[in-house]
Amino acid sequence: MRLTQVRCGGAFIILATYMFLRHRDKLRATKAELPHLFAYGIVGFLAVQALYFVAITRLHVSIGLILEFTAPIWIVVWLRYVKKKVVPALMWVAIFLAFSGLVLIAQVWKGRTLDPIGVIAALLDGIVLAAFFLIGEKLTTKRDVGSLMVYGFGFASLGLAIAMPLWSYPVEIFTQTMDLQGRFSGYTAPGWLLIAWVIIMGTIVPYLLIVNGLKLLSASTSSVMGMAEPVLAGAFAWIWLSEKWSFIQLVGGVTVIIGIILADKARTAAH
């Protein structure tokens, strides 16, 4: 949770400074907009991360990710049965393939016990992630990405500051030296540099890409494409940490990619 706090707070400071200096007029918000922006920050920037961390402290990371990435299913169910919109049959196939691929990657049949609280947290995270995509899709039609992210990270940082006061932050982490492990074992970097990397490359850049993607794609398509995260994480783990995938996991990775391609085709067909 302290990592969530520093990444949200750091992202807010950097983005707010840039927007204030370059596009301060875009930061204006009406009273009618503020509740939606508050919900977006608390749901998409705070709750998604908080519930994920609760889940992975009680579950295997791969299981937590699979349950989190039920988000596309909740989105399509919402669009079809609540909003009464037409969902292309190909989108259902895409979700099935992508989700099945994640199951193969995680190899859930290997006898891991599931903690009930962890499962509940991960499933709630999937629902919250779905809400993040749906709210984001709506807000990006009215606001630019930069100001939207400033409000998102700002409200998330405010919520975290209330729950965990800044004056008790473990600031010693910034001066600690840490081993980079894996292929770079024996090499070290200071805590402030690694945290700066998490803030910029692990928070600001991904969220910029996600929110910009929502402006161009639908919430359902964007969420399915997000399923590529475990596949790419596995690739980086192979390069950096020398982790290996079994044949079944490789099949799962390919299946996820096929699902993503079909989701994009379904989006094109729907338009």
pLDDT digits (tens, 9 = 90+) for 206-230: 999 988 888 888 787 888 888 888 7
Residue 84: phi and psi, rounded to 5, are 60, 35
Tell me, what DSSP letter sits at residue 143? S
3-state helix, strand, coil in the chain (%, to 5): 80, 0, 20
Q: Which is higher by pLDDT, 155 or 259?
A: 155
Read off the amino acid at residue 166.
L
Look-up of token digits 């840039």: 18
Instruction: Report pLDDT digits (tens) over 25-51.
Output: 999 998 989 999 999 999 989 999 889
153-181 in b/e form (b: 16+ CB < 10 A) is bbbbbbbbeeeeeeeeeeeebeeeeeeee
Within the chain, strands assigned E span 177-179, 188-190
Provide the mean pLDDT of the chain.
87
By residue count, the chain amounts to: 271
Angle at which helices 116-139 and 205-216 cross, to 10°: 60
Highest averaged pLDDT of the listed ranges 76-90, 161-175, 217-231: 161-175
Query: Model confidence at 249, in pLDDT bands (50, 70, 90)?
Result: confident
Query: Given a cut of 80, is residue 80 above it in pLDDT?
Result: yes
Instruction: Report pLDDT digits (tens) over 172-187.
Output: 999 999 999 888 899 9
